[in-house]
Structure 1
Amino acid sequence: MSNKDNFEDEGAAAEVPAEQKDSFRSFISTLAQFSGDLSSLTCPSFLLSSVSLLEYSQYWGDHPKLFASISKGKTPEERLLNATRWFISTLYGSYTSRSTSAGMEKKPYNPILGEQYFAQWTGDEETGDTVLKAEQVSHHPPIMGFHLENKKAGVILEGHCGQKSRFAMPAGIDVSQTGHAILTLPEFKEHYLITLPSLNIRGMVTARPFVELSGTTYIVSSAGLLTTIDYSTRGYFSGERHSFKATLKPINGGSAFYTAQGLWSGVSNFTDVKKNETTLFFDSDSDKSVPPEIKPVPEQGPLESHQLWSSVTNAINAKDFAAASKEKSQIEEAQRVLAKTRKEKGETQADALLVFELITSHEDTNE
């Protein structure tokens, strides 16, 4: 075994709970041998986050003032710049905030079909409220749909997102995000098509996963304008990880009117090309995200994320990983029975929900 292998084993040993080491080694071994989409694999409970992947849709609304400001641009160019700034502001929460706060990325729960998540950001008289509605609309393949809207500002975001993942050497996971978002400004009759970045999850062997972004995403305006955002996992723009460079220009290939670059997880600047002026674009350190308002768990419906996964979350927070695995398995088994019932009887989701409630209620009774 190489020195590098020894170092990685020691790192893993330091992070993995003693009772979970065999499970972790088995998981890494399975990852290395698995071909195809990794979403079907069972992740050790100590590597689970205490949230559902559906909840990640809230990061679109992390900065409600920036979201509302998109429609305040006086020209199509300014509105595209505002949309680009808002989009960059969503990346820190979506892809690296958990690594910053907890020291590592963890796997969220796989949402079940029909799972729902609702959130709201209360604004002032000028900004108005921002409201989010999200639902898991497909389980195989997993796809979530979301709707974010600020009626007062006249800004609407709708879209869907799915993920396909595969093992990548050395000991990492590459995730291709499917789907897109459509940003609409009714006042200007403008639409913006937004594509999603690819994810590279590294640090699996040391049990300290973190996310990098790679490839290129686009924001295409119906006004004939385009933002191209290039991501770097090695920092060839600024010499640091999490770098990006954005170019805003006419879609027909004319000269850029704005550029922006820096760290999507930190500070970035933008340049007005015509004026040759460079100013701050976004700073995730000083412009903190705004937590959404969510109903208390007892007031939520049976398919709302916090209510649905509450038993698993409570076990994870108590570091009772055996109980977490058991509770998670019960929910997933109920989902499999539900899917089979729907397939055999051709029932609607509303009909099948009753079956799900009966199954989970019966399991609770047998505890």
Structure 2
Amino acid sequence: MGKSDNKNIEKKSNEESYENKNKVPVTDKPGKLTQEEMDEIDNSSQSKVMLIASLAKKLGLGLGSDLSQVEYPSAFIAPYSTLNFFTTNFSNNFNILLRANKIENEIDRLLEVFKYSTTVHIIPEDCMKVPLNAVVGETQCSNFHTQDLNDPNNIIKDNYYISEQVSEVPPNVATCVYNKKEGVKALFNHESKIVFQITNVKSPTTGKKCVRFEKLNEEYDIEFPVLHSRFMRGFVEYCGEGHVKSNKSKPYITTNFLAKPLIGGHYNSYEAKVYNGVDSKPIFKINGQWDGDSKITDCKTNETKPFFKKGSNVSNYTPDILNTDSTNVWKSIIQSVAEGKSINLAREKSKIIDYQKTLDWKPSQFFLNDQIGAWEPNLFQE
């Protein structure tokens, strides 16, 4: 048995020890820390794992507790807005959809949409920290340029994204990446929870997630896996089943994002099966790592070849800084951190949120489309 195996067994033992020693009553609604309790945690020299144990006890956390509205000490706050998760990451490979828009074959087009869907998953830099909760009406939007995958010498410039916090309780972020000229848009509504699981935290999301090709009058529904922050093991991963399905054509794809085993295995692995919509058996199988290389196998011939390698194809971002932009909302925190100043993130965050609530903001860039049960950008409102 190698050193890495010993470490994994040790981590499992630590998880079991943590879970047994730090059991707390099951509660859906966590308590609230006093400023003194926050300062005590921030000034502690204990490890982050032990601080989480202390935090859990003070808040009265139990299996299934919702952490979405918890006020965290500075030690657990990342100095950027939650909207950062829903902007550039969704646009980095948007040109895959622009290429798919010109593909006539239903299966080939489906495969391109699936490729794009694997590029939008987000891994936080630090699994022990949560970003600043965006306030209702907070926005991020930008124009961006991307390479034409059908003509590498051509740069497609009229692409845009817009993201807005449309609800505070429950937290809901609406994001749209689009090219109106080409009639292509990717729409994501992320109504999320942060659920305490004793040795990890999971973040399931609900809400419409789709890709639409206006010229083809076709829409693909995308179901995402669940984000798990495994703080005891020091990493974040996506796990669970999903799919990509068209409202017009029969072919569809089912997905299974795999948890990293304690011993061996790979990070960010997934398996997918492609069906023609007629036969019960898949016609292709895809496997690999969504943040790296993946391969596709023809189930009839058993031939395997490279499928996709994730990259970034955006060459230029030109942000449209509205008054409601994240950089304005959280300006004092973002500036202080950028300048290396020592500040109490929790206190500054609380001050900003209290001030923002006096402004009584409402969603200004998105409207609730009752026909599809989702938030869409105003520019698509007829």
With the length of structure 2 as denominator, give the TM-score of the two structures: 0.73
Q: Is the 8 A contact 1:128 1:152 kept in 2?
A: no
The 5 A counterparts of 1:343-358 are none
Distance 1:273 1:187, change over 3 A: farther
Aligned residues: 316
User: What aligned pairs does 1:60-75 form with structure 2 within 5 A after superposition?
Assistant: 60-75=90-105
Conserved 8 A contact 1:267-1:282: yes
Question: 1:166–1:123: structure 2 CA closer, same or farther, 3 Å change rule?
Answer: closer
CA RMSD across the alignment: 3.2
Counterpart contact for 1:38–1:164, Cα < 8 Å: yes
1:180 aligns with 2:213: no
Whether contact under 8 Å (1:127, 1:153) holds in the other structure is no
Matched, 1:85 2:148: no
Question: Does residue 1:244 correspond to 2:267, yes or no?
Answer: no
Superposition deviation, residue 246 in structure 1: 1.0
Q: Return the alpha-carbon distance in structure 2 between the equivalents of residues 169 and 57 of structure 1.
A: 27
Please tell me whether the aligned partners of residues 165 and 363 of structure 2 are also in contact (alpha carbons under 8 angstroms).
no
Match of 1:108 in 2: 131
Question: Aligned pair in 2 of structure 1 residues 49, 235: CA closer, same or farther (>3 Å)?
Answer: same
CA deviation map 1:23-46 (0-9, x unaligned): 965554233532431011122324
From 34, 43, 61, the equivalent of 2:61 is 34
CA deviations on 1:128-163 (whole Å, 9 max, x unpaired) are 532101111101111011111123443211231021
CA displacement, residues 153-191 of structure 1 (integer Å, 9 cap, x when unaligned): 432112310211221132x21211121312111222111
**1:117 matches 2:117:** no
Q: What do the CA deviations read for 1:65-112 (whole angstroms, capped 9, x no partner)? A: 223222132211111000001111222xx125x36xxxx563111110
Say whether the 8 Å CA contact 2:146–2:314 is kept in structure 1: no
Q: Is the 8 A contact 2:72 2:346 kept in 1?
A: no
| Residue 198 of structure 2 is aligned to residue 169 of structure 1 | yes
In structure 2, give the amino acid aligned to 1:189: N
Q: 2 CA distance for matches of 1:294 and 1:21?
A: 42
Q: Distance in 1 between matches of 2:322 and 2:275?
A: 46
Residues 73, 135 of structure 1: alpha-carbon distance in 2 compared, 3 angstrom cutoff: same
What residue in structure 1 maps to residue 230 of structure 2?
202
- Inter-CA distance 115–214: structure 2 relative to 1 (3 Å threshold): same
Deviations 1:172-221 (A, max 9, x none): 21211121312111222111011222111012x58x5x311111111111
5+ long unaligned stretches in structure 1: 9-16, 343-347, 351-367
Q: Single out whichever of 302-311 and 272-281 deviates more from structure 2.
A: 272-281
Structure with more of its chain in helix, by fraction: 1
Secondary structure of 1:123's aligned partner: strand
Q: After TM superposition, give the deviation of residue 119 of structure 1 in Å.
A: 2.1
TM-score (structure 1 length as normaliser) = 0.75
% identical equivalent positions: 22
Distance 1:321 1:228 in 2: 48
1:55 aligned to 2:79?
A: no
- In 2 relative to 1, CA 151–301 (structure 1 residues): closer, same or farther, beyond 3 Å? closer
Q: Describe the SS at the equivalent of 2:136.
A: coil
1:190 maps to amino acid: E
Say yes or no: does 1:129 pair with 2:152.
no
Alignment partner for residue 242 of structure 2, among 206, 210, 217?
217
1:75 to 1:239, Cα distance in 2 relative to 1, 3 A? same
Distance in structure 2 (CA, Å) of the matches to 1:38 and 1:317: 28
Are the counterparts in 2 of residues 312 and 325 from structure 1 also a CA contact under 8 Å? no
Alignment partner, residue 310 of structure 1: 331
SS across alignment from 2:86: helix
The 1:75–1:213 alpha-carbon spacing in structure 2 relative to 1, beyond 3 Å, is same
Cα distance in 2 for residues equivalent to 1:116 and 1:67: 24
Distance 1:349 1:243 in 2: 37
The residue number in structure 1 matching 2:317 is 293
Letter in 2 for 1:114: G
| Aligned CA distance change for structure 1 residues 212 and 291 (closer, same or farther; 3 Å) | farther
Contact 1:178–1:196, Cα closer than 8 Å, also in 2: no
1:349 deviates by 6.4
Indicate which of 253, 268, 292 corresponds to 1:266: 292
User: Which amino acid letter does the alignment assign opposite residue 118 of structure 1?
Assistant: C
CA contact under 8 A between 1:249 and 1:258: conserved in structure 2?
yes
Gaps of 5+ in 2: 1-10, 19-40, 148-153, 365-382
Residues 74 and 127 of structure 1, relative CA distance in 2, 3 Å threshold: farther
Partner of 1:232: 258
The SS at the match of 1:73 is coil
Distance 1:57 1:129 in 2: 19
Letter in 2 for 1:328: K
Asked if structure 2 preserves the Cα contact closer than 8 Å seen for 1:146 and 1:159, the reply is yes
Cα contact 2:293–2:308 (8 A) shared by 1: yes
